[in-house]
Amino acid sequence: MCCVPLLCCAGAAICCAGRACCGCLCAPCSKMGVHSKNFAKIGYVIFQFFWIFVSIALLFSAKKLVDILPHFLQCPDQSGDDSACMGPSAIIRMSFVLMCFHVLVLCIIVTRNQCASIFHDGCWGMKFISVLIFFIITMWIPNSFFEGYTQFARIVSIIFLMLQALIMLVVAYKINEVLVGNYERENTSGLGCSGVIIIVLTAIITAGDITWAIFQYIWYHGCGYNNVIITITLVASISFFVLVFFRTREDASILTSSIVVSYLLYLQWSALASNPNEECNPFQESAVNTTMQIIVGLIFTFFSLIIISSSTKKSDATNLTTQMNQPLIEDEEDNHERVDPVVKKDGTQLNHEDLHAFPISSQTIFFQALLVLASIYYAMLLTNWGNPTLFEDTIDFYESNYTSFWIKLVAQWISMAIYLFSMIAPVIFRNREF
């Protein structure tokens, strides 16, 4: 009988921990002017990255710990025995768990009722525990299943990479819009604080782009087609900056171009570093280069998801960028829907703001679908698009391969085309609002 009070205490502790985490997240979001109906979206992005970092820790740290544990505490036979489940397969298993979790959340919120709203915006303690339990259960799923999942993830991740190209375009315009809006609201005769931030941020990113492009020429000049790829990127990048001065669209600036060029240079660098030809890729065996690819890739994914999840739009906005993001970005205006208030036992009434529960919008559903794709993409991002040696008892898994090389290169070319179109479309289609 003593187990019952212990379980109740454990449940209460989990709920308190969940509320404390939500409080820590909501307070800074409110200070930064993020609408409260976007808090849960930001929470899901941070939730994902928490578990991804856990799986990375298992990959590089937990193997040594598991090796010294008794055999019954080590990995089951289905996942490779000994410490194999804490190797590269931990990344794949966590990706699968997060995919299943977000699919479950998606299935619940499509009902769009009050219970779905409360579940989507709350129950964080239960969500953390459920992911942990499911991850442990996957240790008994045979590796052959995850080999099939890897092939599935390789295909689906291409879709997310294409979407991320579009999202990065939105991120660039959104950052510029926010900074310029802050500058205009300051209404100062000089630069003001926001003006200084715009200039300094633009200078830092642009200088970084120039430096990175030069070093890529130095690093990968060994092959002729490497020089061609880098030159194409350089010409496209210069054209983006030049088009800004022709004012083809009002919300384009040197800052937006510099952010987009940074992403293009990342895709180019990651592609060239994935080339298995030793003559063309001097960093084929470089652990530092591998680590930097993972870190930079995670940074771009994290910030693109965070900015999209925290953004709102005006319902009367008709430009192309807003229309492209209609499924993901919430309206600034309140749609007047409300979650019914909840009355506590002491008679206190809690409204939707107190509950942090908002009606499920179509943007919420589409964003959750995006997180499903992101969960699958992490399996490829952290393993360089899969590797045949993935499930061996080794951490030497991030090998160069032509699959990764061409996927990243094509993604870069598509990203170039999207941004170029967004710049010249107002000139070509003068009768449309861009």
* Interval 47-83: pLDDT, tens: 999 999 988 887 776 566 656 555 545 566 655 555 5
Identify the top-confidence range among 154-168, 202-216, 299-313, 347-361: 202-216
- Integer Cα distance of 8 and 208 in angstroms: 54
AA identity, residue 423: M
- Integer Cα distance of 254 and 234 in angstroms: 15
- Integer Cα distance of 56 and 14 in angstroms: 24
∠ CA 346-350-355, rounded to 5°: 130
- Integer Cα distance of 382 and 363 in angstroms: 28
Instruction: Compute the mean pLDDT over every residue in the chain, rounded to the nearest whole number.
Output: 78
The three-state secondary structure class of 361 is coil
Look at residue 323 in the predicted model and tell me its pLDDT: 58
Task: Tally Cβ neighbours within 10 Å of residue 396.
Answer: 13
Residue 199 half-sphere exposure toward CB, CA atoms < 13 A: 8
Please determine, for residue 344, whether its predicted confidence score (pLDDT) is greater than 60. no
Model pLDDT for residues 1-24, shown as the tens digit of each residue = 444 444 444 444 444 555 555 555
Of all residues in the chain, the percent with pLDDT exceeding 90 is 27
Look at residue 50 in the predicted model and tell me its pLDDT: 94
Look at residue 355 in the predicted model and tell me its pLDDT: 56
Please determine, for residue 192, whether its predicted confidence score (pLDDT) is greater than 80. no
Query: H or E segment at 328?
Result: none
Distances (CA, A) of 301 to 116, 284, 370: 27, 24, 12
Look at residue 73 in the predicted model and tell me its pLDDT: 53
CA dihedral 341→343→347→350, nearest 10 degrees, is -50
Alpha helix ranges (H) inside 247-345: 254-272, 287-310, 320-324
Please answer whether residues 90 and 59 qualify as being in contact, where contact means their C-beta atoms are separated by less than 8 angstroms.
yes
Alpha helix ranges (H) inside 32-87: 39-57, 63-67
- Integer Cα distance of 55 and 85 in angstroms: 10
Contact residues for 38 (Cβ-Cβ < 8 A; gap 6+): 29, 309, 310, 311, 312, 330
More confident residue, 325 or 72: 325
Task: Tally Cβ neighbours within 10 Å of residue 349.
Answer: 9
Q: How far from each other are the two terminal CA atoms of the chain, in whole angstroms?
A: 67
More confident residue, 407 or 314: 407
More confident residue, 30 or 358: 358
Assign 3-class secondary structure to 247-260.
CCCCCCCHHHHHHH
Find where tokens 């598991």 sit: 66
For residue 90, name the pLDDT band (cuts at 50, 70, 90).
confident
Please determine, for residue 321, whether its predicted confidence score (pLDDT) is greater than 80. no
Would you list the domain boundaries of the chain? 34-428
Give the chain's count of helices (H) and strands (E). 15, 4
Residue 333, by phi and psi: left (phi above 0), alpha (psi -120 to 50) or beta? beta
Dig out the tokens for 132 from the structure: 């942990």
Give the helix, strand, coil percentages of the chain, each rounded to 5: 70, 0, 25
For residue 236, name the pLDDT band (cuts at 50, 70, 90).
very high
Model pLDDT for residues 196-213, shown as the tens digit of each residue = 888 999 999 999 999 999
- Integer Cα distance of 87 and 119 in angstroms: 33
Please answer whether residues 96 and 159 qualify as being in contact, where contact means their C-beta atoms are separated by less than 8 angstroms.
no
Dig out the tokens for 419 from the structure: 């941004």
Please determine, for residue 186, whether its predicted confidence score (pLDDT) is greater than 80. no
The three-state secondary structure class of 60 is helix
Contact residues for 86 (Cβ-Cβ < 8 A; gap 6+): 58, 59, 62, 63, 66, 75
Can you give the pTM of this predicted structure? Answer: 0.82
Task: Tally Cβ neighbours within 10 Å of residue 277.
Answer: 14
More confident residue, 201 or 112: 201
Please determine, for residue 27, whether its predicted confidence score (pLDDT) is greater than 60. no
